Amino acid sequence: MADHRKMWESLGLDMESHDQLMNVLPSTYGTVYLSQENRPKGMEYFDFVVNEVHGQRIQELQDHKAAGGKVIGAFCVYVPEEIVRAAGGIQVGLCSGVEIGTARAEKVLPRNICPLIKSFMGFKLGKVCPYFESCDMVVGETTCDGKKKAFEILNDYVPVHVMETPQMKREKDKALWLSEVQDFLAMVEEYTGNKVTADSLHQAIKETNAKRRALLRLNELRRHDPAPISGKDCLLIEQISMYDDVPRFTAQVNALCDELEVRVKEGKGVAATGAPRLILSGTPMALPNWKVPHVIETSGAVIVAEEMCTGLRYFENLVPEEGETVEQMVEAIANRYLDINCACFTPNDGRMERIVSLAGERKADGVINCTLAFCDPYLVEANRVAKTLKEHNIPLLNLETDYGQEDTAQIKTRVEAFLEMLGNR
């Protein structure tokens, strides 16, 4: 990796903490990813992105800012990236999946709060993440009480705009959400100094949809047995999709899919034909949170879908491209984003229906529902998931974990027992 220390220092990073993070990442990545056998050659680009995770892309963001552009950070898939692109900005995902910075976060947050919240707050307070330090502002949302209150504190350190996410999907909730998206557009225009036009918004929708289509194409290829690509690699791609350059990322995913289609025709896979096929569901797994997928796939199973925000929820639905006016396109954007099945909604029947249909589409042998500790919406909703899957005779394993490695052996024991149970069915 090139030497980017001067750039990191110019961003005001705590270099000792940042060095600690950068020293951990390569060994973890090597163990989880580079040790895989029969891996598609097209994954080399995504290996490069991780190798340069705080390098090339950060330099691109700095160049964008030097040219007068704005960088806007987001913590959730409900933030409409089309609008940021249409105003000439760059949107990057800021959720993190590692414990570095926790001590500083616990000075302003309770200890028993969701690890994801504690992690992104720790990254900001500890000045560990160059993406965070590159952001001119960040956008929060009210998908859980912990994040909602944490954003109040975060606003002391960086400008925060919070979008009110409805908790139901009635007509009046749809109207509220549309008004939030309209307000977001006005805020982005003011902040960037650029007017969103019908042409710029239409182009942004097309480019963002192209990224989604590439990810959908990749995920459709996972229907095959043997699976042509591992679940770990797909999760990595889905994580990278939230901060990489959109056209470049789209081209690289499509190139990978070209290779995978050949592998499918030749019957080549990353696991043996007939290996247990699992769906991973639950809370998002932000980079570099790869613990559970690694355990699953080194236990002999293959993950064939991620029913989570770092997965299908991020790219499953497209924004209609027929709109002619900004108003029409904004309404189409609002409708698309409200279709995401977050556990903040009550009831959340759409998620239950999607897990069941996904299990059929992917010929899944079972579902592993993985929830972060103290993530109340998903922990409580695990009851509905279990009830629904039992009604459809779909085997389920519920896991609760955090970003530490202490429970890895316990998770492996439970996963292996689950796979043994599937083999005896």
184 within 8 A of 139, measured Cβ to Cβ? yes
Q: How many helices (H) and strands (E) does the chain have?
A: 19, 8
Whole-angstrom distance, CA of residue 220 vs CA of residue 218: 6
Give strand ranges (E) for 283-412: 302-307, 366-372, 396-401
- From the number of C-beta atoms within 10 Å of its C-beta (0-12, 13-18, 19+), residue 408 rates as middle
Q: Look at residue 94 and give its three-state secondary structure.
A: coil
Q: Which residues contact 417 (CB under 8 A, 6 or more apart)?
A: none
Question: Among all chains, which residue has been given the structure tokens 């355990």?
Answer: 295
With b for 16 or more beta-carbon neighbours within 10 A and e for fewer, the 70-81 pattern comes to: bbbbbbbbbbbb
- From the number of C-beta atoms within 10 Å of its C-beta (0-12, 13-18, 19+), residue 3 rates as exposed
Give me the tens of pLDDT residue by residue for the chain, a chain 425 residues long.
Answer: 568 999 999 999 999 989 988 888 888 999 999 999 999 999 999 999 999 999 999 999 999 999 999 999 999 999 999 999 999 999 999 988 988 888 889 999 999 999 999 999 999 999 999 999 999 999 999 999 999 999 999 999 999 999 999 999 999 999 999 999 999 999 999 999 999 999 999 999 999 999 999 999 999 999 999 999 999 999 999 999 999 999 999 999 999 999 999 999 999 999 999 999 999 999 999 999 999 999 999 999 999 999 999 999 999 999 999 999 999 999 999 999 999 999 999 999 999 999 999 999 999 999 999 999 999 999 999 999 999 999 999 999 999 999 999 999 999 999 999 999 999 88
